[in-house]
Amino acid sequence: MAEIGRLLTAMVTPFDEEGKVGYEQAQRLALALLDSGSDGVVLAGTTGEAPTLSHEEKIRLFGLVKQAVGDRGAVIAGTGTYNTAESVELSREAEFVAQVDGLLLTCPYYNRPPQGDLYAHFSRIASSVPIPCILYNIPSRTGVNMTAETTLKLLEDIPNIVGIKEASGDLGQIGRVIAGAPEGKYVWSGDDQLTLPILSIGGHGVICVVSHLFGKSMKQMIQAYLEGDVVTARDTHLRLLPFMSTLMTAASNPIPIKYALNEMRVRVGGLRLPLSEAEGEVAGKIQQELLKALPVDIAYPIPA
């Protein structure tokens, strides 16, 4: 099993011209991301358009990418949904059939469970598999914030819950989790723009979008900070900040990153409804900020 690591790319799901999952291109993309500094990839998360993928597509995607990656990097499968029983079933298949290295479990969206039910939901899923699980708190999308107290109880009580991807934007809450987390339990930033601030209060790393194009830079920023070179870390952060902001604000993720990848001749295709491709003013804004950030530091274009 591959070590999870500090820099994970929340990978887009490539689609072909007919809107079908491009499994071979997903394998190529995952390998290119590892070559450019990522320690692993997260599949079928927000950036991977999980709500539009079927159960069967997810399992096939998990298995084929893991087959291509082997032990070169971690493959983390997004298996958390708003249905606990469905999440358990998908998680078990991801572990047993696809043999992934870990799971990403998002807070249930739409039904907004109270804190005690969040605890029960995550406990049930994590206890159904032997592999590491990363919680994912993103209240802007799910409509519910998992408190520091609930997170810490899960980290303390459930051995294979190894950490959390925190995208609440609340550095006070994130700091309380970091301060109270048991040894060997980690916090990954869920917002590229907050990676360095979260590292500065003891965070472990980031589950990242901008690393599709600037993986080496993100890796170097993390390493520079860990080595005490805060000036280099700061300068890298500030250089990428405008583009990171554009990826999250120009349109709903993953519209901007898919546009940017296609502009760089990385054929990841379009999006599935209810999302559609960037155009007009939105496309112009993404292109403008991408041009400012060039050159990218990954060996693209990859074969299509």
Is residue 153, in this structure, part of any structural domain at all?
A: yes
**Are the C-beta atoms of 29 and 11 separated by less than 8 Å?**
yes
| Half-sphere exposure (Cβ direction) of 188: Cα atoms closer than 13 Å | 25
Is residue 148, in this structure, part of any structural domain at all?
A: yes
Is residue 299, in this structure, part of any structural domain at all?
A: no
Q: Is 249 annotated as a binding residue?
A: no
Out of 165, 185, 219, 258, pick the active-site residue.
165
303 has pLDDT over 60: no
Task: For residue 3, name the pLDDT band (cuts at 50, 70, 90).
Answer: confident
**Bridge partners of residue 134, in order along the sequence:** 104, 163
Tokens coding 30? 């995952």
Per cent of the chain over pLDDT 90 is 94
Q: Is 106 annotated as a binding residue?
A: no
**For this structure, is 300 an active site residue?**
no
CA pair distance 227, 137, nearest whole angstrom: 28
- Eight-state DSSP code of residue 32: H
What's the pLDDT score for residue 296?
A: 84
Q: Comparing C-alpha atoms, which of 300, 201, 213 is closest to residue 260?
A: 213
**For this structure, is 66 an active site residue?**
no
Q: Comparing C-alpha atoms, which of 194, 224, 226, 223 is closest to residue 208?
A: 194
Q: Comparing C-alpha atoms, which of 267, 303, 259, 240 is closest to residue 31?
A: 303
- CATH code for position 199: 3.20.20.70
What does the angle CA 189 – CA 9 – CA 83 come to, to the nearest 5 degrees? Answer: 75
Sign of CA dihedral 250, 255, 259, 260: positive
Number of other residues whose CB lies within 10 A of the CB of residue 100:
29
Sign of CA dihedral 8, 127, 48, 268: positive
Is residue 2, in this structure, part of any structural domain at all?
A: no
Task: For residue 1, name the pLDDT band (cuts at 50, 70, 90).
Answer: low
What's the pLDDT score for residue 301?
A: 54
Per the structure, the complete domain to which residue 118 belongs is given by 7-293
What's the pLDDT score for residue 298?
A: 67
What's the pLDDT score for residue 300?
A: 58
Is residue 47, in this structure, part of any structural domain at all?
A: yes
**Are the C-beta atoms of 145 and 167 separated by less than 8 Å?**
no
Number of domains in the chain: 1
Residue 188: in which H helix or E strand, if any?
strand 186-189
Is residue 304, in this structure, part of any structural domain at all?
A: no
152 has pLDDT over 80: yes
Is residue 241, in this structure, part of any structural domain at all?
A: yes
Q: What is the pLDDT of residues 259-270, one digit of tens each?
A: 999 999 899 999
What's the pLDDT score for residue 304?
A: 57
Report the length, in residues, of the chain.
304
Q: Give the global pTM.
A: 0.96
Task: For residue 302, name the pLDDT band (cuts at 50, 70, 90).
Answer: low
Is residue 40, in this structure, part of any structural domain at all?
A: yes
**Are the C-beta atoms of 107 and 138 separated by less than 8 Å?**
yes
Q: Comparing C-alpha atoms, which of 87, 76, 77 is closest to residue 111?
A: 87
Out of 23, 66, 119, 136, pick the active-site residue.
136
Torsion, Cα of 30, 218, 161, 75 (10° steps): 10
What's the pLDDT score for residue 189?
A: 98
